Amino acid sequence: MAENHPVGFQWVMKAKERGAVIIHVDPRFTRTSAVADIHAPIRPGTDIAFLGGLIHYIIENGRYFHDYVANYTNATAIIRDDYQGTEDLDGLFAGWSPEMGEYDFDAWMYKDPIDKPPAGKRIGHTGQAHSERAAMSRAGRHDPSMQDPKCVFQIVKRHYQRYTPEIVEQICGTPKEIFLRIAKTLCDNSGRDRTSAFCYAVGWTHHLVGAQMIRAAAIVQALLGNIGRPGGGIMALRGHASIQGSTDIPTLFNLLPGYLTMPRAKQDVDFESYCKHEVAVSGWWAESKKYIVSLLKAWWGDAAREDNGWAYQYVPHISGDHSHLTSVVNMIDHAVKGYFVMGENPAVGSPNAAMQREGLRNLEANTNRST
Number of domains in the chain: 3
If asked whether residues 282 and 338 sit together in one domain, one would say no
Does 48 share its domain with 181? yes
The least confident of 92-101, 164-173, 271-280, 313-322 is: 92-101
Q: What is the pLDDT of residues 227-264, one digit of tens each?
A: 999 999 999 887 655 566 656 666 688 888 888 999 99
Residue 342 resides in a domain: yes
228 and 256 together in one domain: no
- Decide if 211 is inside a domain: yes
| Residue 59 and residue 164 in contact, taking contact as beta carbons nearer than 8 Å | no
Q: What Å distances lie between residue 329 and 84, 334, 342, 343, CA to CA?
A: 38, 9, 19, 21
Q: Does any domain span residue 110?
A: no
Tell me: do 264 and 164 sit in the same domain. Answer: no
Q: Are 117 and 41 in contact (CB under 8 A)?
A: no
pLDDT bracket for residue 118 (50, 70, 90)? very low
222 plus 334 within the same structural domain: no
Mark which of 238, 273, 305 sits at the end of a domain: 238
234 and 253: one domain?
A: no
End position of a domain, from candidates 238, 258, 281 = 238
Residue 131 — pLDDT band, cuts 50, 70, 90? very low
**Is residue 119 a part of any domain in this protein?**
no
- CATH (domain of 22): 3.40.228.10
Q: How confident is the model at residue 127 (pLDDT cuts 50, 70, 90)?
A: very low
Question: Are 248 and 233 in a shared domain?
Answer: no
- The alpha carbon torsion through 79, 56, 183, 178 (nearest 10 deg) reads -150
pLDDT tier for residue 140 given thresholds of 50, 70 and 90: confident
Residues spanned by the domain of 285 = 241-314
Count of alpha carbons within 13 Å of 317, Cβ hemisphere only?
16
**Model confidence at 122: pLDDT above 70:** no
| CA–CA gap between residue 312 and residue 176 (Å, rounded) | 58
pLDDT digits (tens, 9 = 90+) for 14-31: 999 999 999 999 999 999
Last residue of a domain, one of 199, 214, 238: 238
Q: 348 and 232, same structural domain? A: no
Assess whether 173 and 290 both reside in one domain: no
Per-residue pLDDT reduced to its tens digit, 323-337: 888 999 999 999 999
CA distances from 235 to 8, 37, 43, 253, 354 (A): 11, 20, 22, 26, 36
CA distance 79 to 139: 8
Q: What is the pLDDT of residue 183?
A: 98
77-81, 165-169, 273-277, 322-326: least confident range: 322-326
Distance of alpha carbon 371 from alpha carbon 368, whole angstroms: 10
Indicate whether 332 belongs to any domain.
yes
In a domain, 297, yes or no: yes
Q: Is residue 1 part of a domain?
A: no
56 and 166 belong to one structural domain: yes
Q: What percent of the chain has pLDDT over 90?
A: 60
- Confidence label for 37 from pLDDT (cuts 50, 70 and 90): very high
Q: Tell whether 246 and 303 lie within a shared domain.
A: yes
Question: Within a domain: residue 176?
Answer: yes
Whether residue 282 sits in one domain with residue 293: yes
DSSP letter for each residue of 285-345? GGGHHHHHHHHHHHHHGGG--GGGGGGGGGS--B-S---HHHHHHHHHTT---EEEEES--
Give residue 367's pLDDT band: very low, low, confident or very high (50, 70, 90): low
